[in-house]
Structure 1
Amino acid sequence: MGLFSFIKEAGAKLFGGSEAQAASADDLKKELEKHQLNAEGLDISVDGDKVTVKGQAANSEISEKIAIALGNTLGVATVDNQLQVAQATPESRFYTVVKGDTLSKISKEMYGDPNKYQKIFEANKPMLTHPDKIYPGQVLRIPE
């Protein structure tokens, strides 16, 4: 899938972690499980602010969600997504949230229709729990 870039200073702070301390592979697996993404059989390695993930994913959507969940973690600047997908599906576009963004505003920019924000929300579940809970620096999947 490739290399994904994130804003290192933005993202979820893992339990017991700090900005200066990189998350461990075990912490990142727990983060995936928190988002109901199966981390079983995944090989996650951390080298400074770069995370590499290898293994199998059911499809491109799951692979993208895993990369985003890992990257939207405080202290992670890049995710090298080397997951193999069992069933290839069209890849999504990605969008980095900036100050003042709403899902409606992003939807208007990406689809030309602000009322399609629910499509973006659904594509980013379970990482997003509410359409109004996005933050600057967060990377979102934008499906076709």
Structure 2
Amino acid sequence: MIKAKYQGVLDLGEQLNIQNGDVSEKDGVLQVKGTAATQYDKNLIWDKIKEIGGDEPADIMADIKVEDESVYARHTVSSGETLGKIAKQYYGDAMKYKEIFAANTDILKNPDVIHPDQELVIPNL
């Protein structure tokens, strides 16, 4: 029953390719463990948990570790994206594009020129 309630969290974990995942139920509490690739992925999992169970759900306990703490996320550029749009997605602030540009000067020479399929580092702020 409790697993069905949080199926959206489990589906998201699968979609994000959470490693070493383990799900069990004990005394009416769903226990979820795993390792996310980045902090951003971990945040997505927690946001989904809160969306379903509220800000402090008592019926789920999640232990999500982060594999790569050196970056906030990694992003593959899609057609039509700009650094501003990408910054808005990850930080909620398009002006943070400068931080993304600074973290990727090895592949970017101009903040106004990015190309599909480039993999950008989204830095921790």
Give the TM-score, by structure 1 length.
Answer: 0.37
Rg larger in structure:
2
Tell me which protein shows more helix as a share of its residues. Answer: 2
Give the TM-score, by structure 2 length.
Answer: 0.43
Instruction: Determine which structure has greater relative contact order: mean sequence separation of CA pairs < 8 Å that are 6+ residues apart, divided by chain length.
Output: 1
